[in-house]
A and B are shown apart, each in its own frame.
Chain A
Amino acid sequence: ILNVEQSPQSLHVQEGDSTNFTCSFPSSNFYALHWYRWETAKSPEALFVMTLNGDEKKKGRISATLNTKEGYSYLYIKGSQPEDSATYLCAFDTTDSWGKLQFGAGTQVVVTP
C-alpha cells in the first residue's frame, strides 16, 4: 500500500493548454517532498525538492506548491509542450528515515500537438 498517492494516474493535454496534478502524502514526520520527471529509458530527473509549508518552486513553465499540514503538493505545467510528455513522480522523505524516499506511482502526462 502506497502512503504516497498521485492523481490522476494519467492525463492527455493539448499543446498549449495548462494542467496540474496532485501528490498526497502523510503529514507526520515530514522532511521533504521531491518531484521527479521521468522519461522512459532515461533516469528520473529531479525537478524540485520542497521542505517548508507554503513552499512554491518554479522551473521554466513548471511550478509546484507544498502544503505540509494537509499533506499535498500540486505540480503545474503552463502552456504544455510535447517535450513535457513524461511521467511525473513525487516522493516523500521523512525525518525518521532520511533519504529512503517513498514514491507515488506517478502521473503520466501525454501532450499532443
Chain B
Amino acid sequence: DAGITQSPRHKVTETGTPVTLRCHQTENHRYMYWYRQDPGHGLRLIHYSYGVKDTDKGEVSDGYSVSRSKTEDFLLTLESATSSQTSVYFCAISERGIPEAFFGQGTRLTVV
C-alpha cells in the first residue's frame, strides 16, 4: 500500500468553525490532490499541488484553502465550515512516470 495517511479519519464539527484536514505521504511524490466524494458526483477535485508551496484550484475550490510547506504534507482548510461541506474527503498522490494515482483512506467530515 502507498504510504498515505489522512487525519482525522472522522470529524464532526459545527457550522462556522474552522477545520483542517491533513494528508501525509511517505512516497516523496511531487503531486498531491484533495478530492471530495458525494453521492451522484463521483470524486471532485478541490485543490491540488505540484510542489512545495505550489498549489492551484480545482473545480470545487470555493470555501477551501490549502497549504503545502513540505513535500510530505498537504493540508486542506475549511475556513468556516458549512453543512454543504459535509462529505468524504480523499487525498491522492501521483508522480510523473507512475501511471496510477494513489489514494488515502478518506476523512468523513460532518458539519452540523
CB within 8 Å for A49 and B100 given contacts A2-B42, A105-B42: yes
Say if the beta carbon of B77 comes within 8 Å of chain A.
no
A residues within 8 A CB of B105? 41-43
Contact at B43–A89, with CB atoms within 8 Å? yes
Inter-chain CA distance A41–B88, complex, in Å, is: 10
Neighbour of A99 across the interface among B33, B90, B103, B104, CB < 8 A: B33
Inter-chain CA distance A16–B69, complex, in Å, is: 50
Docked complex: B89-112 residues within 8 A CB-CB of A: 90, 92, 94, 99-106
Interface size range on B against A: 20 to 34
A residues within 8 A CB of B44? 103
- B90, B100, B103, B106: which has the most chain A beta carbons within 10 Å? B100
Q: A43-B106, A99-B48, A104-B42 are in contact. List 14 more A-B contacts (CB 8 A).
A: A6-B42, A36-B103, A42-B105, A43-B4, A43-B105, A89-B42, A89-B43, A99-B33, A99-B94, A100-B48, A100-B58, A101-B33, A101-B92, A103-B44
Contact at A105–B94, with CB atoms within 8 Å? no
CB within 8 Å for A101 and B58 given contacts A2-B42, A89-B42: no
Mask of B6-47 contacts with A, CB within 8 angstroms, 1/0: 000000000000000000000000010101000011111100
Neighbour of B42 across the interface among A41, A51, A103, CB < 8 A: A103
